[in-house]
Amino acid sequence: MAKTKTKSYVLTLKLKTELWQAHILEKRFEIGRKIYNACLGELLKRHKKLQHDKQYRHLAQQPKSKERNNLLNDCR
């Protein structure tokens, strides 16, 4: 990420939670992490498949036009 030119600060505070609350938070963060990684993996797989598609590569090298954009959207 590019650095911003404006000053910014981060304040980190420790949560005062009971043990059972901390366990619930850990489980939910882990579930969120797994969902994120699964979605990212699927996206990368589809992107790689699209890059290897000959028709898509051919269309991407063509001059920009509405027809080209429509065909690219169909490939996607």
- The larger pLDDT score, comparing residue 19 to residue 4, is at 19
d(CA 74, CA 51): 14
Q: Find the DSSP H helices in 8-76.
A: 19-51, 54-60, 66-75
d(CA 3, CA 21): 35
Here the tokens at position 52 are 């290897």
On the question of pLDDT at 1 being above 70, the answer is no
Rg (CA), the chain: 22
pTM: 0.63
- The larger pLDDT score, comparing residue 64 to residue 44, is at 44
| Tokens 């579930």 sit on residue | 31
Instruction: Convert the pLDDT of each residue in 13-56 to its tens digit.
Output: 999 999 999 999 999 999 999 999 999 999 999 989 888 888 88
